[in-house]
Amino acid sequence: MRIARAHALQIQSMGGELRLTSATARQWYKGKLDPRLVMFLSKLGKWTQPDSAATTLAGMVGITHERALEEISRLERAELVIRETPEMIALTKAQHIWGQAGWAAAFEYQVASDSAERLDYTNQTGQQQDVGLMHQQRRLGPPAPSHYLDLLHHPASSLPQPRSTLSVDYGEVFRAANDQQPPAGVAPMQRLSDLLYYSFGQTGSKRLPVSGTHVMKTSPSGGSRHPTEAYVILFAENSQGSVSHYSVRNHALEPLGKEVSQQWVDDHILEKPEWITGPLSMMIILTSVAERNMHRYRENFTYRPLHHDVGHVIETTNLVAHSLGYTTLAGYSLMDNAVSELLGNPRISEPSMGFIAVRESKSWS
């Protein structure tokens, strides 16, 4: 059976020394990280007979053929070298397809998260382990991050209290936004307040057995963590857009003291301004405070709920906006370097995840 190097090899630092591992390995290669070994693995990118691989390794390192075979066996046990099984053949084919599409880094993440050990929630034992890990996290780990992102150095600008109901039935909400009339007699700031509250605001709270009090919102969230945050660029007529963060705790806007033009939004967020006709009322940027989910889920695989959360929030916002007489365009392809610089948020721990462009419905603009 032929062999090849494992998928997504990584060199990591551990205790001051470099170690070699693969994305799927659950153990380290026990041995000195010789550059010649790394070079050998780099050459083992295609399925190769073990004898042929041993001949290559022996010539590179200056050892006997038998010794090279022993070293290859040790690399197999460390999961740095794989055998040509049906599973690995399929995985290697996927790696090739993803790599050709420019998705090599995404493939490495997918393989690593998919191979991470997970709890089995289909039985009571898995649920007990989950609760035990949550207790351990609270006892030994750092304190859980706040459910609120408070920008304390930016004074909040209060919004009107949201109306208790939007008085729109489901049939109206699901009609084309172009046909939806703005609510009669509702001031612009009240509409803004309603939009932000019913899209992102705290509608209540609940207490869970281990992790304590959690906020409740109109969108579902894995583990009730609600990692998605909203930043709002408000455009007045023929003026620059003012940038603020929406405070869930206070139902208020926290101005960042920055302004941008709609041209800047077109260039760095929309990227396809031709998709929207007429001036924007606002641009909502969604970020994700990833650490909130870490304190509920310890498996790498559950990084995915961050994306699920954003999808839920976007669809909720679309429906709320339509009920208020707005039309929306949502997307994910914003230029996060420029957006992060504008918002001042750390790109890794609070990445930009998507946007919702909001304007008056075409019939009413």
Helix (H, G, I), strand (E, B) or coil at 110: helix
The two structure tokens encoding residue 333? 């392809």
Q: Looking only at Cα atoms, what is the longest distance across the chain?
A: 88
Give the separation between CA 4 and CA 6, rounded to whole angstroms. Answer: 6
Alpha-carbon 81 to chain mean position? 31
- Name 148's Cβ contacts closer than 8 Å, sequence gap at least 6: 215, 247, 248, 249
Helix (H, G, I), strand (E, B) or coil at 169: coil
Beta bridge partners of 258: 243
Residue-by-residue pLDDT tens, the chain, 365 positions: 999 998 888 777 666 667 777 777 666 566 667 788 889 998 998 999 999 999 999 999 899 999 999 999 989 988 889 999 999 999 889 989 999 999 988 888 888 777 777 778 788 888 888 888 888 888 887 888 899 998 877 788 999 999 988 877 666 666 655 566 778 788 999 999 999 999 999 999 999 888 888 999 999 998 889 999 999 999 987 789 999 999 999 999 999 999 999 999 999 999 887 877 778 999 999 999 999 988 877 777 778 889 999 999 999 999 999 889 898 999 998 999 999 999 999 988 999 999 999 998 764 44
Q: Which helix (H) or strand (E) holds 255?
A: strand 252-260
Please choose, from the candidates 87, 75, 77, 90, the residue with its C-alpha nearest in 3D space to the C-alpha of residue 41: 75
Residue pair 318/243 in contact by the 8 Å Cβ criterion: no
Give the separation between CA 209 and CA 212, rounded to whole angstroms. Answer: 6
The pLDDT value recorded for residue 128 is 86
The two structure tokens encoding residue 294? 């870490």
The pLDDT value recorded for residue 171 is 67
Helix (H, G, I), strand (E, B) or coil at 296: coil
The pLDDT value recorded for residue 278 is 77
Other beta carbons within 10 Å of 239: 11
CA distances to 135, 310, 330 from 121, in Å: 17, 24, 34
Give the separation between CA 270 and CA 282, rounded to whole angstroms. Answer: 12
Beta bridge partners of 206: 214
The pairing of strands 326-331 and 157-158 is unpaired
The two structure tokens encoding residue 320? 């709320």
pLDDT 10s digits, 135-178: 888 888 788 889 999 887 778 899 999 998 887 766 666 665 55
Measured in Å, how far apart are the chain's first and last C-alpha atoms? 68
Residue pair 190/264 in contact by the 8 Å Cβ criterion: no
Please choose, from the candidates 43, 217, 119, the residue with its C-alpha nearest in 3D space to the C-alpha of residue 52: 43
